[in-house]
Amino acid sequence: MEPPYDTPLDEVRSHIARGCKASRRKPEDITLIAVSKTHPASSIEPLLEQGLRVFGENRVQEAQGKWPALRERYPNVELHGIGQLQSNKAEEAVALFDYIHALDRPSLVKALGKAMDKADRRVPCFLQVNIGSEDQKGGCSIEGLPDLMSQTQDADIPIVGLMCLPPAGIEAAPFFALLAKLAQDNGIKGLSMGMSGDYETAIMLGATHIRVGTALFGKRE
């Protein structure tokens, strides 16, 4: 039986520690991104008060509505854009986010490169890979990854990792393992993978960034 936890954050941190122990890693090497999309500032502030400073938002517009005021009160917040990004939102995303997780196509490379040049700000990015080859999901194909990497180099976009969303309803571990191999083969260190239901597995397979929403905030209405 698991011990009682004071807060959901304590429970998540305990599971992170367990995953790290099983894989002989250090908890401080894992970045916990609290996925605050659809949650109001009133739900985010308790986590900020507990010391969490890394958050993820899916939509530029929603993040713009919440985070400027929160950042005034908690100035050392790190904000990650984790959702699919439209090319016409590139300038706003570069101004708002500290990291972008869903760089997945040439048109977005072009738009982000231009936006970063204009803002004189290089935002580190993760390349999203469509790891399960699903038509309905974003992400570049596995075969297209080297070309996309080359395009980001030409655009002077810093790439710090790969990101994936495994197919729902089946075991995620093989997809995490595949993403880790792709990262290794391409000389990339960061791995943004694992969500509320599988982040411990992701950690054991090399995740450096986990995106946890439900386990911290509860189920969305």
pLDDT, residue 136, reads 84
Distance of alpha carbon 122 from its chain centroid, rounded?
A: 17
Contacts of 135 (CB under 8 A, 6+ apart): none
Tell me, what amino acid is at 192?
S
Retrieve residue 82's tokens.
Answer: 């984790």
Q: Assign residue 194 a region: left if phi > 0, alpha if psi is -120 to 50, beta otherwise?
A: left
User: Hey, is 176 helix, strand or coil?
Assistant: helix
pLDDT at 2: 66
Rounded-to-10 torsion of CA 20, 192, 219, 172: -80
d(CA 80, CA 100): 6
Per-residue pLDDT of the chain (221 residues; tens, 9 = 90+): 667 789 999 999 999 999 999 999 999 999 999 999 999 999 999 999 999 999 999 999 999 999 999 999 998 999 999 999 999 999 999 999 999 999 999 999 999 999 999 999 999 999 999 999 998 888 999 999 999 999 999 999 999 999 999 999 999 999 999 999 999 999 999 999 999 999 999 999 999 999 999 999 987 66
CA atoms within a 13 Å half-sphere pointing along the CA-CB vector of 58: 9
pLDDT at 1: 60
Taking Cα atoms as reference points, which of 40, 34, 79, 85 lies closest to residue 59?
Answer: 85
* Strands 31-35 and 209-212, sheet pairing: parallel
What is the structure's pLDDT at 103? 97
**Per-residue tokens: 125:** 């990015």
